Amino acid sequence: MHITIVGAGAMGSLFGAKLSVAARVTLLDPWIEHVRAVQDHGLTIVGLDGSEMNLPLTATSDPDTVSEADLGIIFVKSHATQEASQWVSRFLADDGLALTLQNGVGNADTISHVLGRDRAVAGVTSHGATLLGPGRVRHAGQGPTHLGTRPEVADRLSRVVRILREAGFEVHISENLESLVWSKLLINVGINPLTAILRVPNGELLNIPSARVLMSRAVAEAEAVCRAKGIELTYSDPLARVEDVARATAANRSSMLQDVVRGAPTEIEVINGAVVEEGHRTGVDTPVNSCLVELVRALEDSYQVRVDAPG
């Protein structure tokens, strides 16, 4: 199987490295320095135990150089999903699948619009990773990966599941995609914006009492939205689950924190913003999530004038 990872940042690189033991993998990313580092020196993964592994991988920034792929895994930021889907359309086999493991809601719909519903699948993963620099990624947390299935993709998806498991991933299949997406969303709702605003790794949120209060309130609002929408989560205690993930990925810098540190657009609109939007639709008040959205927007708007240290 030929797998192309579209968006080879922290998570894309981690998945590409792990999958390379079970399939032929190509990394596709517009970040030239990262691509060149992988081309010249391979991709280095710093494991959970601190050990390092270097893997020779094919990497490119040009989608037209990618050979036909059986699977495209999309890991770009949500604002780039449309373009990533168009890239995938250039090399995905007619019977291939495009899998989104991105944060937030709405990505699968965008991919389906470009590629067709029979070639689009979605899932969520509990793995965490931090980009340390060009060609270098730290694996910062692990957990199960859940994929949503439907009758028209079941046979092809079974091949994907087999490869993922051969690569060492814990994989589960579900027919309730909305439950999977919102169950992952609640975790991001509680962790990502607070780590970005406070500039702390995931685990520190549990050590800051006021942050823990904000986390609980943001998650409670998201849980109320899910109840109003009739969505059954994959766990019984949302806050406990969020805290467990923060603890299991204590050293990880969330994707939103990584975005803010490098002055890049965040995914706040499809994470906490999705809670606010659905709250409006269902009549659920979401004041904490609304505030977190505005704070992160303010961070983005102040990139060019921010004072990062006393001077």
State pLDDT tens for residues 226-274. Answer: 999 999 998 999 999 999 999 988 988 999 999 999 999 999 999 999 9
CATH number of the domain residue 244 falls in? 1.10.1040.10
Distance CA 301, CA 180 (A): 32
User: What pLDDT is stored for residue 309 in this prediction?
Assistant: 57
Note whether 17 and 153 are same-domain residues.
yes
Q: Are 13 and 80 a contacting pair, CB within 8 Å?
A: no
Q: Number of structural domains, the chain?
A: 2
Q: What is the pLDDT of residue 157?
A: 97
Q: Identify the pLDDT of residue 143.
A: 87
Task: Report pLDDT digits (tens) over 3-21.
Answer: 999 999 999 999 999 999 9
**Residue 139 in domain:** yes
229 is catalytic: no
A 10 A CB-CB count for 212 gives 17
53 has pLDDT over 90: yes
Which of the following is catalytic: 18, 77, 184, 229? Answer: 184
- DSSP-derived letter for residue 269 is G
Q: What is the pLDDT of residue 126?
A: 87
Q: Look at residue 311 and tell me whether its pLDDT is greater than 60.
A: no
- The pLDDT tens digits of the residues spanning 169-203 come to 999 999 898 998 999 999 999 999 999 999 999 99
Residues 69 and 154 grouped into a single domain: yes
Residues 60, 86: Cα–Cα separation, whole Å = 16
Average pLDDT of the residues in 152-157 = 96
* Higher pLDDT among residues 306 and 198, named by residue: 198
Whichever domain contains 113, its CATH number is: 3.40.50.720
Question: pLDDT at position 307, please?
Answer: 85
Distance separating alpha carbons of residues 190 and 286, to the nearest angstrom: 13
**Contact 252/195 with Cβ under 8 angstroms?**
no
Claim to verify: residue 217 and residue 239 sit in the same structural domain: yes
Distances (CA, A) of 266 to 9, 21, 225, 295: 14, 32, 22, 12
Enclosing domain of residue 249 = 178-305
253, part of any domain: yes
Q: What's the predicted TM-score (pTM) here?
A: 0.88
Pair 139, 215 in one domain: no
